Amino acid sequence: MPEDVAQEFRASVSYTPLQRMRHSTAHVMAEAIQDLFPGAKFAIGPAIEDGFYYDMELPRTLTPDDFPAIEARMAESVAKKHAFTQTKWPREQALAYFRERDQPYKVEIISDLPDAEVGIYQQGPFLDLCRGPHVENTGQIGPFKLMRVAGAYWRGDEKRPMLQRLYGTAWFTQEELDKYQWQLEEAKKRDHRKLGKELNLFTFSEDIGPGIPLFLPRGEMLRHLMESYVRDVQERHGYQHVWTGNVGRVRLYKQSQHWFHYRDSMFPKMQEDRDLKEGETPEEAEDNSFELKPMNCPSHITLYNSQRHSYRELPIRYAEFATLYRYEKQGELSGLTRVRSLTQDDSHIFLRPDQVQDEFGRIVDLVREILGTYGLTDYSVRLSLPDLSDREKYHGNFEIWERAVSDLRAALDSKGMAYNAAEGEAAFYGPKMDLMARDALGREWQLSTIQLDLFQPENFGMEYVGEDGQPHRPVIIHRAIMGSTERFLGVLIEHYGGNFPLWLAPVQAMIIPIADRHLPYAEQVADRLRKAGLRVEVDARSDRMNAKVRDAQMQKIPYMLVVGDKEAEAEAVSLRLRSNENIGAVPLTLFLERAMDLSRERSQALWVTEAPVGE
């Protein structure tokens, strides 16, 4: 069965109670659509993470103005408490029924199902092809809301009909629905694309091309601060930073197998401007052409293989902030979270099999330290493991696989980290850990990834000299903490709502002279703070002081330092916080001391009134 349709018929059997209720709400919504739009043709209507949808072909385009009428009809069905009843129909009976009612998408789905019988669910007058499960009756459906309508190609194929996808959400209680709607409104305010423009962080240009972000000075400073912090932590944990360029030959990516698995997501190859050499085939010419680098592992493996290594050297930890290029479909691009030019905080660790558990534990410590500094402390772990009963599915020595699985579990257990183990979800070349972090709005993001690789060491003939003097095969751990600088920055902008902690703020203080005659003192203050390492600007405009303060607050700058006659005479500043708290007059020396301490400690606090940090 095609994967796009299978999601409703296969995954539905594992629906949670909330998903079951949402799936039932999708059927009630389809019932209302059928009543209001005779001739509607229905495709699929599954539950999704935060609600449900139904794909439909309708006689006209839906708009939000249609939602109240649809919701009213849905409420009528809920009030009538129609029972959801299931029956099994022979395939031919179901085909005949849906053909007679001109439901081509249901006919196509049934034709792809392997079963002799298909499931039919009915509530009130509405009958649908469905495996279920559902709630007992429509009266068990909780508060719901229609959210939006979008286009969706049938089966995701742009050559097939464009259907209308009507999204909704449903919850057990009105309180949960209200909270969800508040989160959506708050998410709009925090949208990194909106804030990125307002805070002068980044932009996109059609002259450069879609999916390639351009960073303004404040945005570049954010990148620099983020990457410098991760680099410092990595060096403390024994990583060596390398650099491997922006292009590689096609043959390198063929050897790593990426060419065959990810070719559609790679930029078009760059053929050398020359004729074929004597005896050279077109395939050989293709192998020697160049490709914008889509991933780092083949380059880091090449670095490893450029030298001989002893077991005493391992583990070797290579790290690189490398710009990679992936030709994502234009419709899938989304601000900084899905781009074509990305900077990955990538690392590859080459180690002996007996070092896996210890190294995995080290990486977990590294991840927790970095994410904790950013205030991302609510996370869960998804561990993708092999199905150990299916030895044919996985590459390499199965004893190493069994040991690797045991080591990964032991490492997480030793760190006291709970995890969800997904048996059978490991790639053919090794098990993987994904860290799923929740932001300030409770949304889940897949951030850090740790992947054990038992395939590429053999594929590239990697070796180290063991204690016995013989060549041995290392294993590789692929590891990314932020994933990519761009995506992680997008997550942080929304997590903080643009209110970055002091250490991460591109501009930490705006100095605001009350009148033009106070500008020389403002420049003196700025010079002293800059020399100490703070990032400051002076607002020298002739606007009124209150307007300057308001503008600095809109830019979410942590500190506004207002200076006038009294401040100049006392060598002080009048301190206001972006939270609109007015601290008042503070000696310049004291302000500098406390601000530097808070920044150096990477504190989440903006100001400590009682005493400097560390006292």
The residues that are catalytic are: 297, 326, 344, 346, 348, 432, 478
Q: Which residues are within 8 A (CB) of 323 and not within 5 positions of it... i.e. 6 or more apart?
A: 246, 293, 341, 342, 343
Quote the CA–CA distance of 278 and 434 in Å, as a whole number.
49
CB 222 within 8 A of CB 298: no
Quote the CA–CA distance of 15 and 110 in Å, as a whole number.
21
Quote the CA–CA distance of 445 and 299 in Å, as a whole number.
28
| Nearest residue to 259 (alpha-carbon basis) of 302, 289, 303 | 289
CB 322 within 8 A of CB 478: no
Q: What DSSP string runs through 174-242?
A: HHHHHHHHHHHHHHHHH-HHHHHHHTT-EE--TTT-TT--EE-HHHHHHHHHHHHHHHHHHHHTT-EE-
Q: Are strands 559-563 and 509-513 parallel, antiparallel or unpaired?
A: parallel
Quote the CA–CA distance of 426 and 450 in Å, as a whole number.
12
Any idea what the Cα angle at residue 67 is, between residues 63 and 70, rounded to 5°?
Answer: 125
Quote the CA–CA distance of 443 and 434 in Å, as a whole number.
16
| Structure tokens, 168 | 């909704």
Element (H, E) at 249: strand 247-249
| Structure tokens, 588 | 């310049």
The beta strand positions in 565-611, using DSSP E, are 572-577, 582-587
| Nearest residue to 121 (alpha-carbon basis) of 35, 12, 5, 11 | 12
